[in-house]
Amino acid sequence: MGYFENGIRQLTNSKHPITSPADMKGLKIRVMESPLYIDMFTQMGANPMPMSFAELYTALQQGTVDGQDNPYAITATNAFYEVQKYMTDLSHTFDITCFSINDEFYQSLPADLQKVVDEAAKAAVETNRQQSIDKEQEYIKTIQDGGCEITFLTDEQRNVFREATAGTYDFFTKNYNPTVTLETVLAKADEVNAAN
């Protein structure tokens, strides 16, 4: 039906500001339990530690992990800034939530109700995306007011991270879908961006 936007993922930690992959060396970073994510953070130089989200605040508080990555919204609303001193505006992953409906149920609806569902889904996605944009600065302020120092990377600094993790595309192709290459993904992104 659509994709809700959580924002773009940023990195927090309790040790020091991060401006390059070299600063990641030795940091224990909580990651999603995903081989792809583990690979990406390994390539950044971190020690990725897969862990469920439910355990994260306590793990940060107790020092089980040094840091984590989440969008501003998640970091602010879960008060991770209370147990993290530094945040890096890395913008490494666009975080979405798929929202769907059982196809068998959807197809069983009369056409007029399908139209209502479609229109409601479209409106919900548009509202979510606008709220995400509108609230981002508020979340940044909440994080900073909570005592977390945010480092905003330059495009050049961000490109160093991009280059350090270039092998993640190969990992994806090898382990998930051999027909998808970085070139096909970038071409599709260009196509979508041109249409919008």
- 193: in domain: no
- 195: in domain: no
- 19: in domain: yes
- 51: in domain: yes
- 176: in domain: no
Please report the pLDDT score of residue 1 as a whole number: 87
Please report the pLDDT score of residue 183 as a whole number: 79
Taking the alpha carbons of 47, 53, 55, 58 in that order, is the dihedral positive or negative?
positive
- 147: in domain: yes
- The answer to whether the beta carbons of residues 57 and 121 sit under 8 Å apart is no
DSSP string, 89-131: E----EEEEEE---HHHHHHS-HHHHHHHHHHHHHHHHHHHHH
Please report the pLDDT score of residue 14 as a whole number: 98
Q: The domain spanning residue 102 has which CATH number?
A: 3.40.190.170
The number of domains in the chain is 1
Q: Which helix (H) or strand (E) holds 8?
A: strand 2-13
Give the tokens for residue 175: 């382990």
Domain region containing 117: 2-165
Helix (H, G, I), strand (E, B) or coil at 153: coil
Please report the pLDDT score of residue 185 as a whole number: 78
**CA distance to 95, 123, 196, per residue, from 156 (Å):** 22, 37, 26
pTM for this predicted structure: 0.83
Per-residue pLDDT of the chain (196 residues; tens, 9 = 90+): 888 888 889 999 999 999 999 999 999 999 999 998 999 999 999 999 999 999 999 999 999 999 999 999 999 999 999 999 999 999 888 888 888 999 999 999 999 999 999 999 999 999 988 888 889 999 999 999 999 999 999 999 999 999 999 888 888 888 877 777 777 877 888 887 788 6
Please report the pLDDT score of residue 184 as a whole number: 82
- 172: in domain: no
Please report the pLDDT score of residue 192 as a whole number: 78
- 194: in domain: no
Cα 173 from Cα 186, distance rounded (Å): 14
